[in-house]
Amino acid sequence: MRQFFKFMFASMLGTLLLSVLMFILFIGFIAALGSAFSLEGKAPSVPASTVLRIALDQEVLDRGPNDPFNLDFAPFKMSSKLGLDDILNNLEKAKRDDRIRGIFLDLGVVNAGFTTVKEIRDKLLDFKAESGKPVVAFADVYTQKSYYLASAADAVYLVPQGDLDLRGLRSEMMFYAGLFEKLDVQVQFIRGSDNKFKSFGEAFTRKDMSPASKLQTTALLTGIWSNYIAQVGEARHMDTTKLNAIAAGLLVRKAEDAVSQGLVDSLAYRDQVLASIKQRMGLDTGKDIEFMELGKYTKAYVAKAGPGGSSSWKQPKVAVVYAQGDIIDGESTDGSIGGATISAAIRQARKDTAVKAIVLRVNSPGGSGLASDVIWREVVLAKAEKPVVVSMGDVAASGGYYISCAADKIFAEPTTITGSIGVFGMIPNMKGFFNNKLGLTFDGVETHKYAGMMTVTRPLTEEEKGIIQGFIDNFYHTFTQRVADGRKLAVAQVDSIGQGRVWTGASAQRIGLVDEMGGLQAATAEAARMAGLEPGGYRTVGFPEQKDFFEQLRSSLDAQARTWVAKQAFGEDAEMLHRFEQVRQVRNMAGIQARMPFAMEVY
């Protein structure tokens, strides 16, 4: 009986605490609603003489979350991810918003790929040129990526004891062959017969980069770096030779060096920078600056310029189908492109008579060959009825290129990683691990000769390897034929630039895989033009339909919780968990893979 009361009171106490917590969260939720929308349901107001503050330390996705309330307090913190679409739209809106006096780039770490950063940077330059409003950048520490963005500003500030990193680009791969040797596991990596650049499996079968992998990685880094210094040099009025010399000699070793080398305009603390902003933007020096964050400004109303004012719901539509993440079979999950989900979204846009053109935004290293082909088919069907334009983000390689190649026109940025026309398959042989490490053995019966061909408890026979090689070679032939048909090239030409090799967007344009340089907005404008729509005479709609707000919130909280636990448990080594994610991906791979040859991170 004592135990009964003990558990009963514990249960009551838990329920009480949970109720109190839910009440506190409910009060916070109502407060957040009040700050995001007035009681009458109006969008947040923008005070006169407001400065738009941009910090990109949170992850930037192609498409922002479905957050109708702008909740930005824990645990209702949807601001953990930003949408490139929202950022670009906000900068466009701020150009004609008389209440916005300028932009403050409050920088440090920028959590986005180089191509995404370039699209934001280009829009900042457009903002400056068309509005005449100033842009000011400030940071305690500039990474190479954040400095690239800051270089677009009218004034670049760094704290007196800060740092600016300019030492060239680096990409590093982790190799697991030694680990698998210790575990007595053999990874059976089978790629297309001529796919020497398709080096994804090398991370599991080698201890270093192959010559082909080094060759293409060097070409990628060189291309990205060339674009980087060309744009920084133009903005800072510096010769690229000097920028290369700064990087090669590590000539910025303290904050003063950044000024003397011409990379930074002045050293200043935050209060001094804010005082400078007031003067530069004509603000009241006796009052605090009215800053507005990107998330809140997204919901602010600004009338469109020109006849008709704001866009009408009766206007024709340009559909933007967002395909970001690994390509998988079935339905999409967070961070992945489900073949069924994206093909259904393209089909929905095709059948919607109000949609006059489709933009497929691709940001993917590839994945399932089958899912890629399913999406490709819907692109072909859509193209037969209305213009389809692809906008490539940071990466649109392998399966990401497969789903792009049938479009009427392909846009990419010079720093986009694309191509990787090739396929592979991997099957681990874990017999040694089971037998020698765990003491496990296996035996069984089969009704037919090849029933056990895909088992991981024994190695493939030479005949089985030949069969799988045939599957892969056949799919590679299909891949090259799809590209040849879509790009109007000879199959032999596609094969010569294929073989699993990756290219920068600039190189891909030169060899015929890409049509034009430009970002998401340029691709959208071209799709509208091809459909005969006038500038400003259409509206864009995103596909597929986003998850319910509270479902997204739950997913966001789950992700934040996992990140927090990893950091608490592993501290600075938490980044290693991200790298070992590759092993988990291999375990979940099924069927032929049209995937980038390596998991590449540029530092």
Joined tokens for residue 299: 């919901």
Question: Is position 447 within any domain?
Answer: no
Mark whether 261 and 365 lie in a shared domain. Answer: no
Residue 242 lies in a domain: no
Q: What is the sign of the dihedral through the CA atoms of 112, 116, 122 and 126?
A: negative
* 292/333 same-domain check: no
My answer on whether 275 and 421 are in the same domain is no
**Which phi and psi (to 5°) does residue 71 adopt?**
-70, 125
- Cα–Cα distances (Å) from 447 to 450, 451, 452, 459, in that order, read 9, 7, 10, 19
Contact between 382 and 351 (Cβ < 8 Å): no
Query: For residues 185 and 183, what is the distance between their CA atoms, to the nearest angstrom?
Result: 5
Q: How far apart are CA 527 and CA 355, in angstroms?
A: 11
- Do 463 and 561 have their domain in common? yes
The tokens describing 474, both together, are 């056949």
Burial of 546 (C-beta count, 10 Å sphere; 0-12/13-18/19+):
middle
Q: Side chain identity at 380, as an amino acid letter? A: V
Q: Residues 225-244: pLDDT tens digits?
A: 999 999 999 999 999 999 99
pLDDT exceeds cutoff 90 at 219: yes
The predicted pLDDT at position 245 comes to 97
Burial of 470 from C-beta contacts in 10 A (0-12 / 13-18 / 19+): exposed
Dihedral of the CA atoms 250, 251, 254, 256 (nearest 10)?
-160
Give the integer Cα–Cα distance in Å for 398 and 372: 9
pLDDT confidence of residue 79: 46
DSSP 332-397: --TTEEEHHHHHHHHHHHHH-TTEEEEEEEEEE-EEEHHHHHHHHHHHHHHHTTS-EEEEEEEEEE
Query: Are 274 and 341 part of one and the same domain?
Result: no
| pLDDT at residue 302 tops 60 | yes
In whole angstroms, how far apart are CA 597 and each of 2, 197, 389, 408, 427?
64, 7, 25, 26, 16
Among the candidates 268, 297, 326, a domain finishes at 297
Structure token digits, residue 207 = 């201890």
SS3 (DSSP) at 539: strand
Q: Mark whether 288 and 420 lie in a shared domain.
A: no
Q: Is residue 7 over pLDDT 50?
A: no
Average pLDDT over residues 566-583: 49
Residue 342 resides in a domain: yes
- Please indicate, yes or no, if residue 19 is contained in any of the structural domains: no
Question: At 78, is the pLDDT very low, low, confident or very high (cuts 50, 70, 90)?
Answer: very low
Average pLDDT over residues 512-541: 96
Residue 39: its pLDDT value, please?
Answer: 39
**In this structure, how many other beta carbons lie within 10 angstroms of the beta carbon of residue 177?**
17
What is the reported pLDDT for 546?
Answer: 79
pLDDT value of position 334: 80
Contact 374, 401 (CB under 8 A): no
**Average of per-residue pLDDT across 448-452:** 90
pLDDT tier at 306, thresholds 50, 70, 90: very low
Do 339 and 483 lie in one domain? The reply is yes
What is the mean predicted confidence (pLDDT) over 11-39? 48
Q: 97 or 43: which carries more pLDDT confidence?
A: 97
What single-letter amino acid sits at 583?
Answer: V
Task: In whole angstroms, give the CA distance from residue 328 to residue 591.
Answer: 10
Assign 362 a pLDDT band (cuts: 50, 70, 90): very high
What pLDDT, on a 0 to 100 scale, did the predictor assign at position 192? 72
Size of the chain, expressed as the number of residues it contains: 603
C-alpha torsion sign, points 458, 462, 464, 470: positive
Q: Which of 159-163, 411-415, 505-509, 577-581 has the lowest mean pLDDT?
A: 577-581
Domain ends where: 243, 264, 297? 297
> How many angstroms separate the CA atoms of 63 and 83, rounded?
4
Q: Tell me the catalytic residues.
A: 198, 398
Q: Which two tokens stand for residue 230?
A: 């060309």
Let me know whether 391 and 264 are in one domain.
Answer: no
Q: How confident is the model at residue 424 (pLDDT cuts 50, 70, 90)?
A: confident
Q: Work out the average pLDDT over 389-394.
A: 97
Q: Are 283 and 101 in contact (CB under 8 A)?
A: yes
Q: Please tell me which residue, 554 or 303, carries the higher pLDDT value.
A: 303
CATH code (residue 264): 3.90.226.10
In 3D space, the residue among 388, 256, 367 whose CA is nearest the CA of residue 320 turns out to be: 388
According to the model, what pLDDT value does residue 246 have? Answer: 97
pTM of the model: 0.84
The total number of structural domains that make up the chain: 2
Task: Say if 58 falls within a structural domain.
Answer: yes
The phi, psi pair for 366, rounded to 5°, reads 100, -160
Mean pLDDT over 249-256 rounds to 97
- Model pLDDT, residue 263: 98
pLDDT at residue 585, as a whole number: 52
Q: What is the mean pLDDT of the chain?
A: 85
Is the pLDDT at 162 greater than 50? The verdict is yes
DSSP reduced 3-state for 161 = strand
DSSP SS3 for 48: coil
**Whether the predicted pLDDT of 324 surpasses 90:** yes
Task: Give 433's DSSP letter.
Answer: I
Between 56-65, 354-363, 368-377, the lowest mean confidence (pLDDT) is in 56-65
pLDDT at 596: 57
Domain residues for the domain of 99 are 50-166+252-297
Specify whether 334 is located in the same domain as 288.
no
Per-residue pLDDT at 601: 61
User: What burial letters (b/e) apply to 267-290, b meaning 16+ CB within 10 Å?
Assistant: bbeeeebbebbbebbebeeeeebe
355-368 residues labelled b (16+ CB within 10 A) or e (exposed)? bbbbbbbbbbbbbb
pLDDT at 333: 84
Q: Is residue 184 part of a domain?
A: no
- Say if residue 373 is in the same domain as residue 270: no
Using DSSP, state whether 265 is helix, strand or coil.
coil
pLDDT in tens, 170-181: 988 888 889 989
The last residue of a domain, from among 297, 329, 355 = 297
Residue with tokens 């005070």: 47
Which of 199, 207, 205, 208 has its CA nearest to residue 185? 205
The confidence band for 295, taking pLDDT boundaries of 50, 70 and 90, is: confident
What one-character-per-residue DSSP string does 551-589 give? HHHHHHHHHHHHHHHHHHHHGGGHHHHHHHHHHHHHHH-
pLDDT of 45: 87
Give CA–CA dist 243/257, Å, rounded.
Answer: 13
Tens of pLDDT, residue by residue over 266-291, are 999 999 999 999 999 999 999 999 99
Of 490 and 561, which is predicted with more confidence? Answer: 490
Residue 281 lies in a domain: yes
pLDDT at 558 over 90: no
Instruction: Give the per-residue pLDDT at 299.
Output: 87
Asked if residue 206 has pLDDT above 60, the reply is yes
The answer to whether position 236 is within a domain reads no
Is residue 484 located within the same domain as residue 389?
A: yes
Residues 275 and 366 in one domain: no
